[in-house]
Amino acid sequence: MKRVVYAKRGGLDAIEIIEEEAPLPEKNEVLIEVHRAGINFADLMMRQGLYGAAPDFPFTPGYEVSGIVRAVGKEVQSHAIGDRVVALTGFGGYAEQVVVAQERAWTLPDNVSFDSAAAMPVTYLTAHHMLVYLGNFREGDSVLVHHAAGGVGTATAQIVKALNGGTIYGTASAKKAKFVKEMGMIHIPRGEDFVQRIKADSEGVHHALDPVGGKHVMESYKALRNGGRLYVFGASSAVKGPKRSLWKAIKMWRSTPRFDPIRMMNSNKSVYGVHMGMWKDESVAREQMLALAKMLENGQINPVVDSVYRFEDVAKAQQFIHDGGNRGKVLLDFSPK
């Protein structure tokens, strides 16, 4: 089988494709023939050595896949050979075949495509975890989400609508304004004072989702109303193009605010750091995935897939994301030719 490897820290030239024997499942694992693997911005940060949770180089990235079960361990009861599944891999998803624990794979309904399935786990689970599990989302709640045209942004818009939420503000470049509006969000052009824009309409939002990091986090905090919740789930401001920029990363870390709990008391605001790849409670993640699967079956959510690249073109796919071209999710195609 073939798999993608980050051979070293660096730019797109650090990506290699190697061939090796397919892995074998242990007693409670399943072997999945991968048809689609999702690309997340964290994958790009890992390649540049800017993601603390990444394994040591060399390694294979990839948090999520969809495909077909080709082998099962002797104690597996929840899946059978031939099942169509979606799975959270942690790492290693950029491969033609991957092994995962049986509880980290879910059987797909016949009407759900491999594209939709692979586009859902990380982005939709992240948005659902922030808004529902951590945020106790209530009908009518307002939301601010940055990088609104991306995977988590589009997932947030659909989940908020499914939960009968209120106003959704989405920041994005001017060229993505039409798309963001079509997703049901109020578009705020990148670079505009979004705090002033939001406070002109209301006391502030109930929820703010920030994947940017750095000083941007404090602005998102200011956009909250009394009792609001801020979720920090990325640090895209540390990345400038496909090549590593150490100065950009240092600037981001130095400008990240340090919140004082005592000072936060009077505003009753909350700040959460969210990284679903490091989430340990499998039962919670599974419960949320089942809730999302029900939304998907009911037509309440429909993952937005921007494009699908053959895995041999993984560098082109990541360059496309670096360029900010995507509207929704970008996937890799590992299906047999």
Q: Read off the pLDDT of residues 102-143 as tens digits, 9 standing for 90 and up.
A: 999 999 988 899 999 999 999 999 999 999 999 999 999 999
**Residue 52 pLDDT more than 80?**
no
Provide the pLDDT confidence category of residue 180 given band limits of 50, 70 and 90.
Answer: very high
Provide the pLDDT confidence category of residue 88 given band limits of 50, 70 and 90.
Answer: very high
248-257 own/partner pairs: CB under 8 Å, 24+ apart: 249/50, 251/214, 252/213, 252/214, 253/214, 255/214, 255/215, 256/213, 256/214, 256/215, 256/217, 257/215, 257/217, 257/218, 257/221
Which whole number is the average pLDDT over 213-232? 97
Walk me through the domains of the chain, giving residue ranges and CATH numbers: 2-119+303-333 (3.90.180.10), 122-277 (3.40.50.720)
3-state helix, strand and coil shares in percent for the chain, rounded to the nearest 5? 35, 25, 40
Looking at the chain, the whole-number percentage of residues with pLDDT higher than 70 is: 100
257-265 own/partner pairs: CB under 8 Å, 24+ apart: 257/215, 257/217, 257/218, 257/221, 259/221
Q: Read off the pLDDT of residues 287-311 as tens digits, 9 standing for 90 and up.
A: 999 999 889 888 899 999 999 999 9
Looking at the chain, the whole-number percentage of residues with pLDDT higher than 90 is: 83
More confident call, 243 vs 65: 65
What pLDDT is stored for residue 278 in this prediction?
Answer: 81
What pLDDT is stored for residue 18 in this prediction?
Answer: 98
The interaxial angle of helices 121-128 and 151-162, nearest 10 deg, is 50
Provide the pLDDT confidence category of residue 227 given band limits of 50, 70 and 90.
Answer: very high
Nearest to 310 by CA among 283, 282, 335: 335
**Residue 21 pLDDT more than 90?**
yes
**Residue 222 pLDDT more than 80?**
yes
3-state secondary structure (DSSP) of residue 139: coil
Q: Whole-model pTM?
A: 0.93
What pLDDT is stored for residue 250 in this prediction?
Answer: 86
